[in-house]
Structure 1
Amino acid sequence: MEIRELVSKDIDIVVDLWYETSIIAHDFIPGDYWKNNKGAMAFEYLPNSETYLAIENGEIVGFVAMIENFLAAIFVDNQFQGQGIGKSLLNFVKHKRTRIKLNVYEKNRKSIDFYKSQGFIIKAISEEEKTCENEFLMEWTR
């Protein structure tokens, strides 16, 4: 697996990966929420973040997006989950930081367990305004 920086020609593929993965990982949120945010992801979030892609056999299979020390997104294509890609992407950005924070929905137990296994600690809980879902603020420090 190769990890490389996002370039503009990758954005449509990455947005589709984010959308397809979000619908499954966040099945407690209506699908229209994710559909309505595809434009913001393509034109606002990805271009304004430090984003790295996981490439397997020439195909984008995952990505991680950082905004300063905040992990804004980490997604692995549903067909490639459980193969260590998310861990590799996370370790890649951990080598570039001494502290990383992130928000994760309380109902997304699979991701919470993953982050805990990677050394993240729950620091706070709050309600996410747009979805009215509880989310944890988690933090990792070297």
Structure 2
Amino acid sequence: MKVESAQAKDYDEMVNIWEASVRATHLFLKEEDILYFKPLIRNQYLKAVTLYCVRNEKGFIEGFIGISEDKIEMLFINPAVQGKGIGKLLTQFAINNLGVSKVDVNEQNHQAVGFYQHLGFKVINRSALDSLGKPYPILSMALT
């Protein structure tokens, strides 16, 4: 497995991974929230970050990470390959090569919180609302 840059031509594939991953891990979200966020991911959020991905042997994306400055803004893995080291590979790439040291995580996504804690991130702040004012608490985490 290797990390490579992702391009605008990959957006549709990444949105499909985003949706499958969110449905598998963000069980606290309502259906209307997923439908609300999906076009934002496709049309705004992917364009706002630097994207890297891992592809399988057939060239399909299995996971991707979006970085802005020193922060992970998104990390999504195809549920069929979660637990195979792709998220760790992408995160360590971002830390070691891009100077990443921060991430915000949905508090209710216990799997993600544990993942980042395992990689050395610590909670430094908590917000009761997400960045859009929705009632999904966010944990700000940083490498210490």
Letter in 1 for 2:108: K
Aligned to 2:17: 17
RMSD of aligned Cα (Å):
1.3
Percent of aligned pairs with the same residue?
26
The residue matched to 1:95 in structure 2 has which SS? helix
The residue matched to 1:37 in structure 2 has which SS? helix
The residue matched to 2:10 in structure 1 has which SS? helix
Q: By percentage of residues, which structure has more helix?
A: 2
TM-score by length of 1: 0.93
The alignment status of 1:133 with 2:136, answered yes or no, reads yes
Aligned to 1:109: 110
Letter in 2 for 1:19: E
The residue matched to 2:97 in structure 1 has which SS? coil
Q: Where does 1:1-142 land on structure 2 (aligned, <5 Å)?
A: 1-57=1-57, 58-129=59-130, 130-141=133-144
Letter in 2 for 1:13: E
| Alpha-carbon spacing, 1:123–1:18, altered in 2? closer, same or farther (3 Å) | same
Letter in 1 for 2:126: I
Q: CA offset at residue 109 of structure 1?
A: 1.1
The residue matched to 2:137 in structure 1 has which SS? strand
Structure 1 segments of 4+ aligned residues over 3 angstroms from their partners: none
Cα deviation code 1:93-118 (max 9, x no counterpart)? 11124442111111111111110110
- Tell me the number of residue pairs that the alignment of Structure 1 and Structure 2 aligns: 141
Letter in 1 for 2:60: E
Letter in 2 for 1:48: A
Letter in 2 for 1:37: F
Structure 2 residue ranges without an equivalent (≥5): none
Structure 1 residue ranges without an equivalent (≥5): none
TM-score by length of 2: 0.91
Letter in 1 for 2:85: G
Letter in 2 for 1:90: T
The residue matched to 1:123 in structure 2 has which SS? strand
Q: CA–CA distance in 1 between the matches of 2:87 and 2:23?
A: 18
Q: CA offset at residue 2 of structure 1?
A: 2.4
